[in-house]
């Protein structure tokens, strides 16, 4: 082989060697690229999932109907937004002091539709009762929060009520012959017959004159 031929083959050999090394490095580069994409994808999913979580106020225990919610009754819990009702409440201040209109299970978001209005001026030693009321009992919805209600359950003709209840809120249900629920508070020492009469809607209620 002539020296000219050898000189011509030399550059070609070096070029082939460089190409071979590139091909050997290619799988490694591909692996690095795939690993980087996997890490980036994991971070994206993680942060996207984080953005979908939000803190909501939930009961620490199952709350009965017509219960005044206290600070000890609720705690924040992070939940996926797409699994929470649109009217769910997100702050403790938006639920504390309100009354439950139905039984609410523990660790489920509290919603506006399940709660009555904020009950201002209501403290302990009171029982809250939901009174199923006819339109006449509710004065066709014209009773006002804060009204004092005389409650009669005895069959006698006494002009003195058996108890005095404070009206906290009026909820209209539009169902059956008792389309209203009167949410009232009475002292815990109120006789059981009065509480039962209110709970069943069999008590006779009149609005007392203001102080």
Q: Is 45 domain-assigned?
A: no
Residue 117 vs residue 57, higher pLDDT: 57
- Same domain flag for 151 and 111: no
Task: Tell me how many degrees the CA angle 210-183-198 measures, rounded to the nearest 5.
Answer: 90
Over range 121-133, report the average pLDDT.
77
Highest-scoring range by mean pLDDT, 24-38, 69-83, 146-160, 167-181:
69-83
Least reliable range by pLDDT among 113-117, 154-158, 170-174, 207-211: 154-158
138 and 90 within one domain: no
pLDDT at position 47, please? Answer: 46
106 inside domain = yes
Domain membership flag for residue 140: yes
Distance CA 176, CA 133 (A): 10
Residue 54 has what pLDDT?
86
What Å distances lie between residue 138 and 77, 122, 143, 171, 182, CA to CA?
38, 21, 6, 10, 7
Total count of domains within the chain: 2
DSSP line for 112-123: GGGEEEE-TT--
Residue 36 forms part of a structural domain: no
CATH number at residue 76: 3.90.1210.10
* Element at 127 (helix H, strand E): strand 126-133
- The chain-wide mean pLDDT, for the chain, equals 78
Question: Are 130 and 202 members of one domain?
Answer: yes
Do 163 and 147 belong to one domain? yes
With a CB cutoff of 8 Å and minimum separation 6, the contacts of 169 are 99, 116, 117, 119, 145, 182, 183
- Does residue 144 or residue 124 have the better pLDDT? 144
- Is residue 114 situated within a structural domain? yes
| Angle at the Cα of 56 from the Cα atoms of 51 and 57, rounded to 5 degrees | 165
**Residue after which a domain boundary falls, among 79, 98, 118:** 118
Question: Is residue 55 predicted with pLDDT exceeding 80?
Answer: yes
Same structural domain, 200 and 153: yes
Same domain, 99 and 137: no
75 φ, ψ (degrees, to nearest 5): -155, 155
Q: What is the pLDDT of residues 65-97, one digit of tens each?
A: 888 888 999 999 998 888 888 889 989 988 988
Residues 111 and 132 in one domain: no
Asked if 109 and 130 sit in the same domain, the reply is no
**In the listed set 91, 118, 145, which residue is the last one of a domain according to the structure?**
118
Q: What percent of the chain has pLDDT over 70?
A: 69
Residues 132 and 202 in one domain: yes
**How distant is the alpha carbon of residue 183 from its chain centre?**
21
Distance CA 134, CA 30 (A): 76
| pLDDT band at 8; cut points 50, 70, 90 | very low
Same domain? For 148 and 192 the reply is yes
Given a cut of 50, whether residue 196 has pLDDT beyond it is yes
131 belongs to a structural domain? yes
Same domain, 81 and 107: yes
Band of pLDDT at residue 150, cut at 50, 70 and 90: very high
The 10s digit of each residue's pLDDT in 30-42 is 655 656 666 555 5
Is position 78 within any domain? yes
Judge whether 73 lies within some domain: yes
Domain span holding position 156: 126-207
Strands 115-118 and 53-59 come out as: unpaired
Q: Tell me what the mean pLDDT of segment 168-182 comes to.
A: 83
For residue 98, the model assigns a pLDDT of: 85
pLDDT value of residue 17: 60
Inform me whether the pLDDT recorded for 139 exceeds 60: yes
Residues 150 and 99 in one domain: no
């Amino acid at each position: 082989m002539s020296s000219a031929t050898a000189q011509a083959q030399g550059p070609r050999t070096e070029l082939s060697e460089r190409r071979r090394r590139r091909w050997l490095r290619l799988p490694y580069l591909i692996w690095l690229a795939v690993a980087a994409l996997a890490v980036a994808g994991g971070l994206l999913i993680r942060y996207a999932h984080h953005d979908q979580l939000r803190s909501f106020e939930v009961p620490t225990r199952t709350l009965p109907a017509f219960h005044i919610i206290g600070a000890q009754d609720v705690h924040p819990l992070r939940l996926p937004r797409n699994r929470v009702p649109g009217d769910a409440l997100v702050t403790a201040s938006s639920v504390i002091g309100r009354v439950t209109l139905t039984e609410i299970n523990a660790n489920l978001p509290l919603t506006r539709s399940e709660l009555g209005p904020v009950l201002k001026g209501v403290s302990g030693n009171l029982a809250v009762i939901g009174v199923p009321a006819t339109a006449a009992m509710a004065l066709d919805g014209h009773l006002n929060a804060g009204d004092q209600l005389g409650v009669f359950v005895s069959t006698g003709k006494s002009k003195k009520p058996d108890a005095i209840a404070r009206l906290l809120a009026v909820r209209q249900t539009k169902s059956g012959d008792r389309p209203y629920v009167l949410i009232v508070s009475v002292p815990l020492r109120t006789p059981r017959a009065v509480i039962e009469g209110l709970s069943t809607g069999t008590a006779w209620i009149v609005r007392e004159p203001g102080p």
